[in-house]
Structure 1
Amino acid sequence: MFNKSLEELMDKAFEKKKKVESLLEGVKREVAAVEDSIQLQNQTLVELEIEEEKSGQDACKKEIRKLIIQKDELNSRMKAYQEQLKRGVLNQKEMDALRKAYSREHELMEEELNGFYSERKETENQIRQLENKAKELQFKIEMLSNKKSGLSKNRNILTCLDPRTERFDFLIKEQILSGWFKGHDMEALIAKEMNKQNPPEVKRDVFVFGEELKIVEQEMIEQNPPEVKRDVFVVGDNRKIGRTRMW
């Protein structure tokens, strides 16, 4: 991004070039108009010479000479404009100012660019430090996880806390020990695991359809101890539902 000084000088240079080009085009139009006038005066002079009007001829020749002088002046100006466009529209003072402004702009951009390079390098160093920190933390996590898993070796201490835990496998022992370390009641933990292994008796309902009630009842008596209660729901041919309690 050019600074204001350099941008203004460049705008001024372009504006000056456009001005010279505009002046050149104007002179070209004037030259063309003068040439048309000279041609017209020459035609008039020819007519006057044919008619042998001496006074008219002198006036016409005078006008032609005047137009030729004007044309020469315009051509001289046109040549000067063309030369200026050819060699450049800026004078030495303007070129020196433009060069100085550009040099300053270049210095500022170099300073800013070097600042970006330094910031990037610092950021890359920070990233490397963070990556090393992440690796260090990962190592600590793995070490602590291994140490935590090593606590399971202490599950044999359960037999000192409560001999009833001897009946459980090592996974359950680890769960009980972990729960006890966290402050849970040992009795509640053991009771929970024992209930899982010996669930309470559940009353079952058996639905029987049709004429096979007696056979099913006999099979149920043989398969279930007398102390277990069972409900049998019977649906007969008339689709009524009955209930028989077996003891």
Structure 2
Amino acid sequence: MDKISIVAIIGGFTAIIAGQALEGGNVGSLVQLTAFMIVIGGTASAVMLQCTPKQFLTGLRMMRWVFFPPPFDHEKMIREVITWSQSARRGGLLSLEGYVNSQRDPFTRKALQMLVDGAEPDTLRAVMEVEMMMFEHARKQAARVWESAGGYAPTMGILGAVLGLIHVMENLSDPSKLGAGIAVAFVATVYGVGSANLLFLPIGSKLRNIVASEIAMKELVVEGIVAIANGENPRIIESRLRGFLAMHE
């Protein structure tokens, strides 16, 4: 579990609520169902309109990564590649066939299978880089769901504010209804700006960083397997992969 994400979210909302209380404001005034429906409902609708269903659903599923990011053990992968290299050096590429089915990652399994099948290094790299590029594009499009929400939410907040002011103007003759309209107007703006900058944009950025780590892992696999296909020494492969990893940290 990524505890810093939980601390950050709780800390952000606590700061806003505490600030409201310290200024003598009523914390309950920040709870407005109408403003919430306008901002969150409008933002969700705008995001759905710009995305495909698959991108939208993938983006929602990826949200769990904020709290439970997938483990990317680059050091472990380097050790695995070196093990494959030593095995290939002793028994040839066919000796790697036993490692193929043990790979849980489909990308790694496919690359290793191509190596066992005797694919040329240039062909292997070309095929896996195309697959990696398509994978990265799909992941980034899904992460954009949250970045887009961060762009739309403040505008929806302004829309809610305008609707609240319209309600105020329609009821100038009835002072008892003015307070509710003004509350919706200002709270909608708070919801729009607050959700964008405390949730949507940070979540989008965090998911992009996780995707970058995921792609770095796949690049590591491709570099290692291509090096094995070229028959390079395991020590040289290890040195190259550690240098490659240092460049992506």
Into which bin does the TM-score normalised by the smaller protein fall? 0.3 to 0.5
What is the TM-score with the length of structure 2 in the denominator? 0.34
Would you tell me which structure has more helix in proportion to its own residues? Answer: 2
What is the TM-score with the length of structure 1 in the denominator? 0.34
| Greater relative contact order (Cα < 8 A, sep 6+) | 2
Would you tell me which structure has more strand in proportion to its own residues? Answer: 1
Q: Give the number of the structure whose alpha-carbon radius of gyration is greater.
A: 1
